[in-house]
Amino acid sequence: MTNQELQDLITGWFTDPAAVKLEFTEEGSQFLNLSIHPDYLHELMYYLKLNRNTSFDYLFCLTGIDWGKELEVVYHLESTDYRHIMVVRSKIEDRENPEIESVQDIWATANFHEREAFDLFGIRFKNHPNLKRLFLSEDFEGYPLRKDFVDEKNMVVK
């Protein structure tokens, strides 16, 4: 499917795309980017995988990004049937207690990648069966990949 077809198809699933903050853009990226409000993410992801025309069955990258004011989770999806790629992104505005629905029930690989994002960004994935720190020890304070993380001893800022 081309990016335009994908965009049309997905927009058609929502009665009011603006209400869920559904936005598409191809600017500054080689893939089609879709952003959505975190509350509606899980449902959208579920359809993206199960719909016969989209069939995004392969989540190949799950990234957390700290944009200063808000945190963003970026999902790179690919369909192994059609080989089309799409990026789904969702911004969480609450920095203190960022929460988003887990997608590990849709793609098993998300289990570890979400733990990584939790570990390094502190994003809590709801309904995750084993949300523990992946790399750092349990008593580690702070979330090192956030931009406001300071560690005077170990960090060299150039």
Q: Which of residues 44-73 bind other proteins (CB under 8 A)?
A: 57-61, 63, 65-66
Binding-site size, other proteins (CB under 8 A) = 37
Stretch that binds other proteins, among 1-9, 16-24, 92-100, 109-117 (CB under 8 A): 109-117
Q: Does 144 bind other proteins (CB under 8 A)?
A: yes
The tokens of 70 are what?
A: 């808000």
In whole angstroms, the minimum distance from the beta carbon of 57 to other proteins comes to 5
- Contact pick of 108, 126, 127, 150 for other proteins (by CB under 8 A): 108
Which residue, 14 or 58, has its beta carbon nearer to other proteins? 58
In whole angstroms, the minimum distance from the beta carbon of 126 to other proteins comes to 20
Euclidean distance between CA atoms 78 and 81, whole angstroms: 9
Identify which of 55, 15, 53, 8 has the alpha carbon closest to the alpha carbon of residue 32: 8
Q: Does 28 bind other proteins (CB under 8 A)?
A: yes
Q: Does 27 bind other proteins (CB under 8 A)?
A: yes
DSSP assignment of 17-64, as one string? TTTTT-EEE-TTSSSEEEE--GGGHHHHHHHHHH-TTT---EEEEEEE
The answer to whether residues 123 and 93 touch, using CB atoms and an 8 Å cutoff, is no
Q: Which residues contact 55 (CB under 8 A, 6 or more apart)?
A: 49, 79, 80, 81, 82
Question: Which residues would be at the binding site for other proteins (CB under 8 A)?
Answer: 27-31, 57-61, 63, 65-66, 74, 76, 80, 83, 87, 107-109, 111-113, 116, 120, 133-137, 144-145, 155-158
